[in-house]
């Protein structure tokens, strides 16, 4: 097998979708495994996208993986035992510690302060 690369296409309807490029020119299907909590994910699908050198990958997200905290999935080429990629889901309480959540909270508080300041200025005039 040649050097394979994985690129994300989208995440929708409970499935992560991506494309594997640089697969074998012989048309052999790449030997891909997806793991979550060191366990294989069932239902992973690969469809040939072009002359055996690119494949569309669909990974269903198990319902038990949609939970509080950070959930990480690894995508592995089993023939070379190398990681092709990964994706992460974040939800619930753990997200409140995330920087993006902090920025959104700061924006909301700033908007609240702006409204209160404007109201105060109108009342004092």
User: Could you report the per-residue pLDDT of 56-81, keeping only the tens digit for each?
Assistant: 999 999 999 998 888 899 999 988 88
User: Rounded to two decimals, what is the model's pTM?
Assistant: 0.73
Share of the chain above pLDDT 70, in %: 88
Confidence of residue 1 (pLDDT cuts 50, 70, 90): very low
pLDDT of residue 121: 92
Domain locations along the chain: 5-92
Long-range contacts of 90-97 (CB under 8 A, 24+ apart): 91/66, 91/67, 92/67, 92/68, 93/68, 93/69, 94/68, 94/69, 94/70
Tell me yes or no: is domain 5-92 CATH 2.60.40.10.
yes
């Amino acid at each position: 097998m040649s050097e394979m690369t994985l690129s994300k296409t989208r995440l929708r309807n409970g499935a992560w979708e991506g494309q594997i490029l640089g697969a074998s020119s012989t048309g052999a299907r790449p030997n891909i495994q997806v793991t979550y909590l060191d366990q294989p994910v069932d239902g992973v699908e690969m469809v040939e996208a072009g002359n055996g050198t690119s494949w569309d990958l669909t990974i269903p997200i198990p319902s038990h993986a949609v939970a509080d905290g950070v959930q990480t999935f690894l995508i592995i080429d089993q023939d070379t035992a190398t990681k092709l990629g990964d994706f992460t889901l974040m939800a619930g309480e753990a997200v409140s510690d995330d920087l993006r959540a902090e920025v959104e909270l700061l924006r909301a508080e700033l908007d609240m302060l702006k409204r209160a300041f404007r109201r105060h200025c109108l009342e004092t005039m």
